[in-house]
Structure 1
Amino acid sequence: MNENPTSPRRRAALRRAKALPAWSLVAAGALAGATLGGGYGAGRTPTYTATSYVVAVPTAKSDPASALGFAQAYGRVATQLAVLGDAQVWAGVPVATLQNSVHAATSPDAPMVAVTATSARPDLAADMANAVSRALTRHASDVQGSTHVELQQFARATEPAAPSSASAGVTALVGASAGGLLGGLLLLVRPRRRRPEPARAASVPGPAVAAEAHGQL
């Protein structure tokens, strides 16, 4: 039967892996992870985030508790099709873009709705956030006679000056951490070098054993 031609190579690779210092796998993993993470951060398109705020104000026939409850409700409907259908006109983007780029958040303690939009363009991020806030306040004014709560714009979204996505340095650090962790895991499963067993001395019979053997002869 022919021997596997790759077996000597495998044995040589195992010997080289055993001979490597313990820290080399961790260092190599961290270096590779930092390189990949930094390249990913430098090559991807930066993302910008803008946020506008609207606040629910009770009328004379309502109270702050009702305003807080309606603010929670408006936060849930801010990204619904009825609101985004109007917002697309002012934002100048399709509804699908608004659905993927805009989300709303509320506070359990304040009657406020935060509308946040993300985009590769800082001006478009601000335009989308303001457009959704404007459409939401108009829908709230249509039912103000029954809710007795008015939705007012508290703060307009401004064009962000810097991207909100992680920089190349941050992604490089994350990649280095992940690569170092992977190197540590490989270190745990790496075949360990066996220690040579001490050679046993040849057994020499003592005088009594030799005499006894001679007598038997």
Structure 2
Amino acid sequence: MIQNHARPPRASRLSPLRALPPWSLVAAGVLAGGLLGGGYGTLRAPQYTATSYVVAVPGERSDTATALGFAQAYGRVATQDAVLADAQAPAGVPMATLRESVRTATSPDAPMVAVSATAPRPAQAADMANAVAGALTRHANAAEAATRVQLLQFTRAVRPTEPASPSAGVTGLVGASAGGLLGALALLVRPKRRPEEEAVRATVPGPAVAADAHGRL
């Protein structure tokens, strides 16, 4: 006599995101972000930054306020092509490299301009900063008769002893934080189980229960 056994309803297959426990998304994001960030910090060549300072000094029939105003203007002029073209020979690099690597900063309280250069070698960074500061000084002093302000080199850039770029540990922590944040966002948008899926999972017997029932038949 052939017995017909009723087949249990087939459970709907859950998507991988629904099947994973909630904390796994955050943990995976932290792990992946930490590995990527640490790897980037390890493989990326260190960058060094050197800074040279020039100061604007008022001349005859001038004052400190005038010197301060010209210092602000010289801070913007320092990265212009006219100055960089004169600096490329003593710096030993093309003008395009100076344009990408040199930055300036000024103070609202002091007539001083900081010329910073970043390079993969400490000596190159110092050479670029000093070359641009020297070229800026020459350009500014060529118009001293009209501006009544003289630009002097306050301090020369020296070779940095430590890289300015973040270490592998720092980039790893940043990557882990970003990965954890993305994992938390994925957890928030993760699709929830539908009521019918929960009902199917509740009605489907576990492997041990199914085997025991089949043995009694």
| Normalised TM-score (structure 2) | 0.81
Q: Quick check: 1:180 aligned with 2:180?
A: yes
Q: What is the rounded CA distance, in whole Å, between the counterparts of 1:85 and 1:188 in structure 2?
A: 54
Unaligned runs of 5+ in 2: 1-9, 204-217
Q: What is the rounded CA distance, in whole Å, between the counterparts of 1:17 and 1:106 in structure 2?
A: 52
User: 2:131 aligns to what SS in structure 1?
Assistant: helix
Deviations 1:117-176 (A, max 9, x none): 011111100000000111111112211111111101111111111111111111111111
Q: What is the rounded CA distance, in whole Å, between the counterparts of 2:183 and 2:20 in structure 1?
A: 13
Deviation of 1:181 after TM superposition, in Å, equals 1.1
Q: RMSD over aligned Cα, in angstroms?
A: 2.0
Q: Give the equivalent residue in structure 2 for 1:20.
A: 20
Q: Give the equivalent residue in structure 2 for 1:159.
A: 159
Q: Map residues 1-217 of structure 1 onto 2, 5 A cutoff.
A: 12=13, 14=15, 17-193=17-193, 194=195, 195-196=198-199
Unaligned runs of 5+ in 1: 1-7, 200-217
Deviation of 1:196 after TM superposition, in Å, equals 4.3
Q: Which amino acid aligns with 1:109?
A: D
Aligned length: 189
Deviations 1:55-93 (A, max 9, x none): 000012211011011111111111112211111111111
User: 2:79 aligns to what SS in structure 1?
Assistant: coil
| Normalised TM-score (structure 1) | 0.81
Q: What is the rounded CA distance, in whole Å, between the counterparts of 1:135 and 1:177 in structure 2?
A: 43
Query: Larger C-alpha radius of gyration, 1 or 2?
Result: 1
Deviation of 1:13 after TM superposition, in Å, equals 5.1
Q: Give the equivalent residue in structure 2 for 1:3.
A: none
Q: What is the rounded CA distance, in whole Å, between the counterparts of 1:17 and 1:72 in structure 2?
A: 56
Q: What is the rounded CA distance, in whole Å, between the counterparts of 1:43 and 1:97 in structure 2?
A: 22
